[in-house]
Amino acid sequence: MPLGHVLYESGNHLQHVYFPVNCIVSLLYVMEDGHSAEIAVVGNEGIVGVALFMGGETTPNRGIVQSAGEAYRLPGKVLKDEFLRAGPFQHLLLRYTQALLTQMAQTAACNRHHSVDQQLCRWLLLSLDRLATDELVMTQELIANMLGVRREGVTEAAGKLQNLGLIHYSRGRIRVLDRPGLEARACECYRVVRNEFARLLPDELAR
């Protein structure tokens, strides 16, 4: 799964679902004028394509690989059959979907009230939680797309964080040096989402 690969496009009927292993997938809404905003981010705790088992077949979003890596792909039909058996797997999928709901809700609130600085911290932490490393391969331009802000805004915010010694970055690589420091600067949204995932999916995160 290379960086930037589009798993599905807004409105297209999904053929497969994906279980990220060591990659991250962003769910993005792309507006008519080309602006975009990240709705949620999915890593190995989750599944890309909940619309398949929820019954909608498609959603008005784009699924795009935000950090390269591997993922399992499963034909939609296989997943749907398994889902319909109404076993523990179904419950797991539903609990994950609720966690996703929370993440989206929090994104909405965060977009309304918090500064770019805070959102960048939240975003870095959420992404990092879904990877095994402390390094992200990602240009500021791409981060800006995700957050739905200007690239310059990200440059400025990231500059502050670097000056504070919280992160180090250069040409498309961001390394996190002080995680607790980042958390302290992030808004409550990060914590709310993290706690809700921990509550709903304790086993998944323990793996």
Residues within the interface to a copy of itself (CB under 8 A): 27, 29, 31-32, 35, 37, 39-40, 50-51, 53-56, 59-61, 84, 86, 91, 94-95, 97-102, 104-109, 111-113, 148, 188, 192, 196, 199-200
Give the shortest CB-125-to-DNA separation in angstroms.
17
Residue with token string 């739905």: 148
Between CA 82 and CA 103 the distance in angstroms is 25
Closest to DNA by CB, 61 vs 145, is: 145
Residue 18 has phi, psi (to 5 degrees) of: -125, 140
Options 149, 182, 187, 201; binder of DNA; rule CB under 7 A: 149
Between CA 197 and CA 96 the distance in angstroms is 8
Between CA 69 and CA 23 the distance in angstroms is 4
Options 2, 132, 170, 207; binder of DNA; rule CB under 7 A: 170
Task: Identify what 23 binds: a copy of itself, DNA, none; CB under 5 to 8 Å per kind.
Answer: none
3-state secondary structure of 190: helix
Taking CB under 7 A as the rule, does residue 141 contact DNA? yes
Could you give the C-alpha distances from 94 to 9, 82, 130, 132, 202, in angstroms and in order? Answer: 23, 13, 20, 25, 14
Taking CB under 7 A as the rule, does residue 171 contact DNA? yes
* Contacts to DNA by CB under 7 A: 115-117, 139-141, 148-153, 155-156, 158-159, 162, 169-172
